[in-house]
């Protein structure tokens, strides 16, 4: 709802011709998870997923036609998987994997024309495998191996036929 968005416009800014701040184009988040036993006292699983968008309309930013507001898109999705195997009363193995991905075009703004928009993608992965061992009732051990990766992929457009500024007459 636009009623839940503040724009910090005071009388001085309104007198200067500003009558609105940045807007929200769309926003949603959806998620689900499921887990449980596969084989009684032996094998369990867990899985989760989430997807969300946060699309904003930056102040004074338009599509090439000069009238349609441009939308800065942000899309993220995540998933998690885990499996646990109880090999015996004293040995358990656990595997875990998580993937996160964010796509963001928030570089779009009034000083960056639509034709020159850029963005960032940040995929990351985390995984782990663990062996848990119990020795009698006095000693517990846990051996783990895991890794994590994270990429920052910046991109942008640079068309040859569009000047990189708005300081020209149409």
List the chain pLDDT tens, one digit each, 170 residues.
Answer: 556 666 667 788 778 766 666 777 788 999 999 999 999 999 999 999 999 999 888 888 888 888 888 888 899 999 999 999 999 999 999 999 999 999 988 778 878 877 888 888 999 999 999 999 999 989 999 999 999 999 998 888 777 666 655 554 44
Cα(127)–Cα(145) distance, integer angstroms:
8
CB 27, CB 56: distance < 8 Å: no
Domain ranges, ordered by start, for the chain: 23-156
CB 24, CB 72: distance < 8 Å: no
- The predicted pLDDT at position 18 comes to 65
């Amino acid at each position: 709802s636009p009623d839940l968005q503040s724009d910090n416009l005071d009388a001085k800014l309104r007198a200067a011709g500003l009558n609105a701040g940045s807007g929200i184009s769309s926003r949603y988040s959806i998620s689900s998870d499921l887990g449980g036993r596969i084989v009684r006292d032996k094998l369990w699983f867990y899985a989760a997923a989430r997807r969300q968008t946060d699309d904003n309309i930056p102040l004074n930013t338009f599509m090439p036609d000069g009238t349609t507001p441009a939308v800065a898109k942000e899309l993220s999705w995540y998933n998690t998987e885990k499996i646990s195997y109880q090999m015996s009363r004293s040995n358990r193995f656990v595997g875990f994997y998580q993937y996160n991905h964010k796509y963001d075009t928030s570089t779009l703004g009034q000083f960056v024309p639509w034709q020159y928009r850029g963005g960032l993608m940040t995929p990351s992965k985390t995984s782990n495998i663990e062996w848990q061992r119990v020795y009698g009732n006095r000693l517990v051990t846990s051996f783990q191996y895991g890794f994590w990766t994270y990429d920052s992929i910046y991109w942008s457009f640079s068309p040859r036929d569009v000047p990189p500024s708005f300081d020209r007459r149409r």
